[in-house]
Chains A and B, each alone.
Chain A
Amino acid sequence: MTEFTPFASLLGGAMIGLAAVLLMAWEGRIAGISMIAGRLLPPYLDGALVSRLGFVAGLIAAPLAVMLATGAPVAQTVSSNLPLMAVAGLLVGFGAVCGSGCTSGHGVCGLARLSVRSLVATLTFMLTAFVTVFVVRHMMGA
Chain B
Amino acid sequence: MSFLVNLLLGLLFGIGLVVSGMSDPAKVVNFLDLFGTWDPSLAFVMGGAVVVAFVGYRLVLARPAPVTGGEFHLPTQTEIDAPLLGGAAVFGIGWGLSGFCPGPALTALGLAAPGTLAFVPAMFVGMWAARYASGRIGKPSFA
Does B130 lie within 8 Å of A93, measured CB to CB?
yes
In B53-71, the 8 Å CB interface with A consists of: 53-54, 56-57, 59-61, 63, 65-68, 70-71
- Shortest CB-to-CB span from B121 to chain A, Å, is 7
Does B110 lie within 8 Å of A50, measured CB to CB?
no
- Knowing A94-B129, A129-B93, the reply to whether A15 touches B7 (Cβ < 8 A) is no
- Knowing A99-B87, A124-B85, the reply to whether A74 touches B106 (Cβ < 8 A) is no
Determine the interface band of chain B, counting residues with CB < 8 A from chain A: 35 or more
By a beta-carbon cutoff of 8 Å, the part of chain A in contact with chain B is 1-6, 8-31, 33-35, 37-38, 40-41, 50-66, 74-104, 106-117, 120-122, 124-134, 136-138
By a beta-carbon cutoff of 8 Å, the part of chain B in contact with chain A is 2-27, 29-30, 32-37, 39-42, 44-54, 56-57, 59-61, 63, 65-68, 70-75, 77-80, 83-103, 105-111, 113-116, 118-131, 133-134, 141-143
Residues in A neighbouring B37, C-beta threshold 8 A: 1-2
The main secondary structure of chain A at its interface with chain B is helix
- Knowing A93-B102, A109-B53, the reply to whether A19 touches B131 (Cβ < 8 A) is no
- Knowing A8-B19, A11-B20, A52-B6, the reply to whether A1 touches B30 (Cβ < 8 A) is yes
Residues in A neighbouring B12, C-beta threshold 8 A: 15, 18-19, 22, 58
Does A26 lie within 8 Å of B67, measured CB to CB?
yes
What's the Cα separation between A77 and B104 when bound, in Å?
12
Does A34 lie within 8 Å of B127, measured CB to CB?
yes
